[in-house]
Amino acid sequence: MKAEDYCKKCPECGSVDKNIDIVKVPKKTEGIPEDVLKKAQESGKLTIIRCSNCRHIFEYAKDSKMDVEFKKICIQ
């Protein structure tokens, strides 16, 4: 996900608020890119960027370093 995408409107509801959720790797893994899934299975955790309002999934994050960058970008 590119920096400018973090503040994009949700295609479902138009909200710009997003959550970064760290969840256990689900049993149903369809839609998760292979490289992301591999990493998630190694660590046992999956990072998902979701709309705070309707839970639309924007992206499965590759690593947790992202959430620091995410905050930095969206504060401005």
Expressed in angstroms, the distance from the first to the final Cα of the chain is 18
Separation between Cα atoms, residue 76 and residue 50, nearest integer Å: 20
* Least spacing, CB of residue 43 vs Zn ion, in Å: 27
Does position 21 interact with Zn ion (CB under 5 A)? The reply is: no
Strands lying side by side in the sheet with 18-24: 18-24, 45-51, 57-61
Q: Which is nearer to Zn ion, 15 or 41 (CB)?
A: 15
Does position 61 interact with Zn ion (CB under 5 A)? The reply is: no
Q: Which is nearer to Zn ion, 11 or 65 (CB)?
A: 11
Q: List the x/- string, 30-59, binding to Zn ion by CB under 5 A.
A: ---------------------x-xx-x---
CB 25 within 8 A of CB 41: yes
